[in-house]
Amino acid sequence: MAVDTLPPELLMRILELLESTADLYSVISASPAALRIFETASERVLLTVTRRRIHPQSLRHAVATISVPSVNFKPPWNVLDRYFSSGSEPSEDALLAPGKARALATLHAHVCRHIRRYADQTCAQLSGPATDGGQQLSSTELTRLERGFYRYELYCRVFPAEPGNALQSRSSAREQFERFIKRLEPWEMEEIVCIHQYFVYHLGTIVDDLESQLVTRFLANACREPPVGDAQQVLYYDELDMREMTLFSTEARKDSPHNLGYIAASGLAFMNSVFHATTSTERLDLIRSHGPGTRELLADALYRGAEEIPHPPISRDFSGDDPSLPNLGYLQYAPDVTTIYMQIREDDIRWLPMRLLGYVFWDSDRLENPLARSVMEQGQGMSMRELRQRFDRSKQPSAEARLDGFRVRRDVMDDLVRDYASTLVLFPPIDEVEEVEHPGAGM
């Protein structure tokens, strides 16, 4: 390659000016000289390229996120205190610490992938189909989305499960509220909640598809009457150990927001793996290894803390598309509620359509076009009956209910349990926990 003949200083400068880490990896894969230069200053080059891709106002959110230890037996309150007490950009020395640049590049790659998917799905409803290059976002929209996804990941990492007990949160709902939520403005918290609801909703559709596959497979092997002399070898579906098949139980559907929220708390890297899995089997294996389960998380923290703080009246005055202020969507569509933060429990399904449209992320130009205004008003005007029919998974029959009265041979049942039962390790030994990242690490 001609690039291999360039002076090292010039080659270093070329690497630092590349537009993305994907471009960087392409160049160093194709050029031995570029690879040698990269290896002499990999942290510096990675940091330079990654920082160019992150909006300056988003950098401190990203750095706080990668500062949370992947394994920690003490809550990282020092990370949160630094994050909430300083609005300044992180120092160069902090970013060049060993492993930081690579962690930052990896995290930002996950955020970018989520933003592309999120924008393509939500903006298409507000602005029409995208061009070949995908939905075009303004700088301020991108800033809000980056901030929201970074903060979601930060929340997951700071509040993992207790080591040795996957069903126990390290920090109580009250502590989560006091340490994190209470330090954000209501409209900032809505950005995180919109992302949480987006993950939970799409996990629900994925689980529904997997459940239908289970039902189809069961019915294909079902029999109403046992073979003569073989009654002991034929089982009803509800004779399964439902503790293993919780993901597809009636009880799991009733508590769907908690169960799916638990899975979503595994973080951005995990959710990217789920969304971009190449087969349904791969997607099923990912989900059943991370749930279902329940522990005190975002919904509980909002409920336990916010109820004590009255919500001040929302000023509806719009000050422009400044990402440091609430956007037009929040000012127009956020309801005047009694608590300072809008809830995400089962009874608050009335806000779900707006949250799934990402109403807190978009600029005024996008929100004021006729299509967006019509879609927003339709979402805001849905009756409770319409909301339940469309979004309440508990109103739809579970696999347990759909297969009531059907039987299959014991060997078929064993195969179904092997392929569909939860593989979540509820009580991992502490010495194993120390060797892996916590469930909320997402990296």
Tens of pLDDT, residue by residue over 62-97, are: 999 999 987 766 889 999 999 998 766 666 666 767
Q: 381, exposed or middle or buried, with CB in 10 Å at 0-12, 13-18, 19+?
A: exposed
Cα–Cα distance, 50 to 106 (Å, whole number): 9
**Residues 66 and 14 grouped into a single domain:** no
The pLDDT assigned to 225 comes to: 62
Closest CA to 420 of 263, 213, 202, 201: 213
Question: What would the pLDDT profile of 108-140 be if each residue is shown by its tens digit?
Answer: 999 999 999 999 999 889 988 766 667 789 999
- 216: CB partners within 8 A, 6+ apart: none
**Residues 392 and 330 grouped into a single domain:** yes
Per the domain annotation, does 47 fall within a domain?
no
Closest CA to 441 of 208, 223, 160: 160
Phi, psi of 337 (to 5 degrees): -100, 170
**Residues 35 and 67 grouped into a single domain:** no
Closest CA to 316 of 303, 305, 304, 325: 325
Which of the pair, 239 or 61, is modelled with greater confidence? 61
Q: Which letter does DSSP use for residue 236 in this model?
A: E
Which 3 state secondary structure label does DSSP give 440? coil
Which of the pair, 434 or 270, is modelled with greater confidence? 270
pLDDT band at 420 (very low <50, low <70, confident <90, very high): very high
**Residues 36 and 163 grouped into a single domain:** no
Q: Looking at residues 203-220, what average pLDDT do you find?
A: 94
High-pLDDT (> 90) share of the chain, %? 44
**Residues 29 and 172 grouped into a single domain:** no
**Residues 25 and 63 grouped into a single domain:** no
Neighbours of 129 (CB within 10 A): 8
Which of the pair, 316 or 338, is modelled with greater confidence? 316
Q: Which residues of 42-64 are buried (b: 16+ CB within 10 A; e: fewer)?
A: bbbbbbbbbbebbbebbbbbbbb
Per the domain annotation, does 249 fall within a domain?
yes
Query: DSSP characters for 171-183?
Result: S-HHHHHHHTGGG
The pLDDT assigned to 319 comes to: 86
Per the domain annotation, does 78 fall within a domain?
yes
- What's the one-letter identity of residue 257? P
Cα–Cα distance, 367 to 372 (Å, whole number): 5
Query: DSSP characters for 367-383?
Result: HTSHHHHHHHHHHHT--
Cα–Cα distance, 181 to 341 (Å, whole number): 9
Q: Is the pLDDT of residue 36 over 60?
A: yes
**Residues 67 and 117 grouped into a single domain:** yes
The rounded Cα 285 to chain-centroid distance in angstroms is: 18
Per the domain annotation, does 225 fall within a domain?
yes
**Residues 173 and 311 grouped into a single domain:** yes
**Residues 266 and 368 grouped into a single domain:** yes
Question: What would the pLDDT profile of 240-285 be if each residue is shown by its tens digit?
Answer: 665 678 888 888 888 888 899 999 999 999 999 999 999 999 999 9
pTM of the predicted model, to two decimals?
Answer: 0.89
Closest CA to 351 of 204, 189, 209: 189
**Residues 179 and 324 grouped into a single domain:** yes
Separation in Å, CA 332 to CA 187, 375, 380: 12, 14, 11
Rg (CA), the chain: 24
The pLDDT assigned to 341 comes to: 80
Q: Is the pLDDT of residue 186 over 60?
A: yes
Query: Mean pLDDT for the chain?
Result: 85
How many residues would you count in the chain?
A: 443
Per the domain annotation, does 267 fall within a domain?
yes
The pLDDT assigned to 247 comes to: 86
Q: Is the pLDDT of residue 229 over 90?
A: no
CA angle, 164 as apex, 161 and 166 as ends, to 5°? 40
The pLDDT assigned to 441 comes to: 37
Separation in Å, CA 133 to CA 26, 396, 437: 21, 37, 35
CA atoms 318, 322, 324, 330: torsion sign = positive
pLDDT band at 5 (very low <50, low <70, confident <90, very high): confident
Instruction: Note down the domain range covering 436.
Output: 58-443
**Residues 67 and 32 grouped into a single domain:** no
Q: Which two tokens stand for residue 439?
A: 């469930």
Neighbours of 235 (CB within 10 A): 16
**Residues 32 and 79 grouped into a single domain:** no
Per the domain annotation, does 328 fall within a domain?
yes
Q: Which letter does DSSP use for residue 223 in this model?
A: B
Per the domain annotation, does 208 fall within a domain?
yes
User: Strands (DSSP E) along 183-279, which ranges?
Assistant: 234-236
Per the domain annotation, does 53 fall within a domain?
no
Number of domains composing the chain: 2
CA angle, 431 as apex, 426 and 433 as ends, to 5°? 50
